[in-house]
Amino acid sequence: MSGDESTRAAIMDATFRALAKHGYADLTVQAIADEFEKSKSLIHYHYDSKADLMVAFLSYLLDEFIDEVEDGGPDDPRERLLRMAEIVVLGLGDREEARDFHTALLGMRAQAPFEPELQEQLVENDRLIRGVVADIVREGIETGQFRAVDPERYAALFRSTIEGAQSHDVILGDAAPTDDAFAGIEEYLVDDLLVAENAERGRGDADGAADAAGDDAG
């Protein structure tokens, strides 16, 4: 990683921490600089304004998210969809820290209609994420794991559902039925709506065979 790339990565990490701590409405370049080991002037050297920095941060989040789903996650299409849902709905790591960050993201999205550059990047992120979902669905259809559904339409439904569950968690806090929402996404949106009958039956047969083997061993 070059010096510029390393610096930009450090700025993105500082932005993540500052955003989770202060929320979007109270986020300033100084707050980001307070989380950054180097000088505030270095942030201004790379980014002309807070708006410029936040657009870059959204692009950075998109890359990290897709890497987590595609490169660091499971190969199975069903499991990749569930991994995506888990990241968005439940977050990674500590649940409270994830909620703090999701709260900041919700505040950012709420401002998008009034900040065209921000909205443009959010639109691009949404388009690319729906594209990843659609590609996963196509792969599952080609391998016979998924039913023949419209990949783009399913991607729009899936994306809206997991984002809605995330927002619900932020707005309602501990009263939100987040675990039930995630379970419903797995059971109804993925397994009932998407998984092909023969693939579902095959999974059940495999589970039954494993149970029978365990009984025989006993």
List pLDDT tens digits, range 51-103. Answer: 899 999 999 999 989 888 887 667 899 999 999 999 999 988 788 888 988 99
Measured CA to CA, the distance from residue 130 to residue 158 in angstroms comes to: 8
Residues 175-196 have a mean pLDDT of 96
Contact between 167 and 89 (Cβ < 8 Å): no
Q: What's the whole-model pTM score?
A: 0.84
Q: Is residue 205 over pLDDT 50?
A: no
The percent of residues above 90 in pLDDT, for the chain, comes to 68
- Burial group, residue 107, by CB count within 10 angstroms (0-12, 13-18, 19+): middle
No. of H helices and E strands in the chain? 10, 0
Q: Given this model, what pLDDT does residue 62 score?
A: 92
Helix (H) or strand (E) holding 44: helix 40-46
204 Cβ contact partners less than 8 Å away, ≥ 6 residues apart = none
Domains and CATH numbers, the chain: 1-47 (1.10.10.60), 49-217 (1.10.357.10)
